Amino acid sequence: MVDGVVFLLENYFDGDCLTLFTLRLQATELELLLLKQLHKMKAFYLLRPVVNIVTKVPFPCFYIILLGEKDYLLDNDPAKINSKFFLNKETELSKYIVIAQNKLNFQQKSKALITLFRRGHPDALLLNPEDNLFAYTLFPFGEKMKNCPENGIEIKLLDKWVNNRFHKNLYPHKVPQLFNGCNLDVSFIEYVPYTIYHGRNEVKGIDGVMVKLIGESLNMTVRWLLRESWFSYLKNGSHYGILPDILYGRTHLACGGLIRSPELAGYVHFTTTYAISYLTWYLPQPPYEQTWKTMYKAFQKKLLLLSIAVIFTIPVFIAIIAKLADNELSLFKCITRCYVAAWALAVGNSTGKKPRTTSVRIIYAVWMIYAMHLALAYTASLAGLLTKSAHRPRVKNFNDLINTGLPTAMLDVHQSATTNISDPEVRQALDKFLLIEDTDEAISLMALHGNMSILDNSAYVDYTICSKFSKKPIYNSGLSTFPMKTGLMMRKSHFLYKIINKMIIRLVESGINDKIIKSTTKCRKTSRRLKSGQFKASTLRGLSGAFLVLGVGLLVAIAVFFLEQIIYQRNLYRNDKEAIIPYLN
């Protein structure tokens, strides 16, 4: 084993940096022999990473990872597998050797190499001691590949230790020209992907540049499979279309025009929230459902009872004290003022002295307008706006979403296209789909936890707030339309899933979205957030108007409040003056 590692270092090590990762607290016999041999050759770094703690390592470098029987690369715990104990950045100039100190079975070899592959290291080598020393890899780019894996990554026995040497070129610096690449099958409906017409209010094509770019980066040729509809039936009773293609594994990715209109979705008499984005992603299926609640239902029972008790108890004490002080202040006025003050504090965040109903109403109205612009409909429901929802969201926040885990469900943004499907098998698969809005927070958190698939930053959002009395729309937000819409879905079990995730994040960070997709403020904010590691909650794009309305409304409410106070004080002064003048006369 040590001789094989030394051979690789002598023949393929052409840099000045060498790093040895040891994942055990106590050194094994193999590790001691390897340390002794490496010390004779060259200076090197020795690192012992800790789970869930980011370890800074030199880059670019030649990395050696020693594996035991129960190490992180072989663990089934996602929290340990996701720990960043190796590099998570560009690695064209880096090389990996994973040394198994004990014989690994096929599943363990797969886990070790796939874990590195998902982090962007497709050409890592695994040295496994069997009856001899074998070198395994996922993508033997040094050889001429005739076929590409269809449903998963295939582990390739690249070379065998014979006569104290490996015979093949185990570490090519780049993909050779002899490698012909692979086909990336993409189903499309409704529009031809390479026919694009930029219209103001019409969509006549789909921008397939992003998918093509991904395919070229993976040395794959994109092959478009055009479909007539989302679901169609053949004479033999089987299905075809982009959703069956994904469900039954006939294609790698599926795209389609996702424009929704009242003619497709139908008119509704309650609040509807939906988003159509350029590219969509997979999400884990939560085990429970969370329905929206109005403001009074959002409180816990004990807190609600306590609030009611305070509202009605404090005025009683105020009235008693006022009575003892010979101040004519009725109990009804005390209750009314305390009730209004409580609403002003809860809804308008106002702590002014003796608030009046006019200012409170202005604050509440402005808060309604502001809440309607928020991407998270739960905020609007807390303001008492929502009585029903078009769909039943299943998570309270994105932390709940991320922590729900498996099984995986596909994101379905074209809900109206799947409502009339009666086939039991397809219906069962579609019932696992999850609908969720696209937000900055989702992009940040999904990128951080590696739980997103392919997405982008432009979305089409429409909110219709309806009165619970008249059942008619009382407010309709302005629509932010984009001429080109593309929805893309991908099986999470597909072998390209993780590496495409990482590529999309890199594309966003590098500003490639400015070239392919319209440059927006949100793109730049997301890019900065991804780079700096700041993953804070945020709202959707285009909220400048909402914040402006909120700010102006609050200023008006404050001005009205002070005007009421001035009038109130003048009335007191006038009343006192009218009472004093007869006495002076």
Mind listing the domains of the chain with CATH numbers?
Answer: 2-160 (3.40.50), 182-291+386-542 (no CATH), 298-364+555-584 (no CATH)
pLDDT at 229: 66
Q: Which residues pair with 64 in a beta bridge?
A: 20, 97
Distance CA 487, CA 193 (A): 12
pLDDT band of residue 185 (cuts 50, 70, 90) is confident
Pairing type for strands 18-22 and 62-67 reads parallel
User: pLDDT value at position 98?
Assistant: 86
Q: 161 and 150 in contact (C-beta within 8 Å)?
A: no
pLDDT surpasses 50 at 441? no
Q: Return the pLDDT at 280.
A: 31
How far is the C-alpha of 29 from the C-alpha of 38, rounded, in Å?
14
Mean predicted confidence (pLDDT) in 419-440: 45
Strands (E), 365-467: 408-409, 459-466
pLDDT at position 97 over 50: yes
pLDDT tens by residue, 511-525: 444 333 333 333 334
Predicted confidence at residue 216, as pLDDT, reads 66
Quick check: 366 and 553 in contact, CB under 8 A? yes
* Residue 156 host element (H or E): strand 156-160
User: Is 418 labelled a binding residue?
Assistant: yes
Averaged pLDDT, 42-47: 76
Q: How confident is the model at residue 88 (pLDDT cuts 50, 70, 90)?
A: very low
User: What percentage of the chain exceeds 70 in pLDDT?
Assistant: 20
> Looking at residues 461-465, what average pLDDT do you find?
29
User: Which among 170, 155, 119 has a CA at the least distance from the CA of 5?
Assistant: 170
CA 156 to chain centre: 34
pLDDT at 529: 40
Flag whether pLDDT at 411 surpasses 60: no
Of the two residues 21 and 78, the one the predictor is more confident about is: 21
What's the pLDDT score for residue 15? 73
CB atoms within 10 A of CB 317: 10
What whole-number distance in Å separates Cα of residue 105 and Cα of residue 289?
40
Q: For residue 251, how many other CB atoms are within 10 A of its CB?
A: 21
| pLDDT tens, position by position, 297-343 | 444 555 556 666 665 666 666 566 556 555 454 555 555 555 544 54
Q: What is the pLDDT of residue 272?
A: 23
Higher pLDDT residue, 232 or 13? 13
Whole-number mean pLDDT of the chain? 53
* pLDDT for res 433: 41
Residue 11 scores a pLDDT above 60: yes
End-to-end CA distance of the chain: 115
User: Confidence class of residue 4 from pLDDT cuts 50, 70 and 90?
Assistant: confident
For residues 175 and 371, give the distance between their C-alpha atoms in angstroms, rounded to a whole number. 52
**pLDDT given for residue 558 in this prediction:** 59
- Average pLDDT of the residues in 559-564: 62
Residue 138 burial (CB count, 10 A): 23
* pLDDT range class, residue 401, cuts 50, 70, 90: very low
276-295 burial string, b = 16+ CB within 10 Å, else e? bbbbbbbbbbbeeeeebeee
Q: What is the pLDDT of residue 322?
A: 57
Rounded mean pLDDT, 400-410: 31
Res 18 pLDDT > 70 = yes
Q: Tokens at residue 481, please?
A: 């339309």
Confidence bin at 221 (pLDDT 50/70/90): confident
Beta bridge partners of 302: none
Q: How distant, in Å, are the alpha carbons of 299, 364, 560 from that of 358?
A: 26, 10, 8
For residue range 468-505, what is the model confidence (pLDDT) as tens digits? 333 443 333 332 222 233 345 555 555 565 665 565 55
- For the cut 80, the answer to whether the pLDDT of residue 136 exceeds it is yes
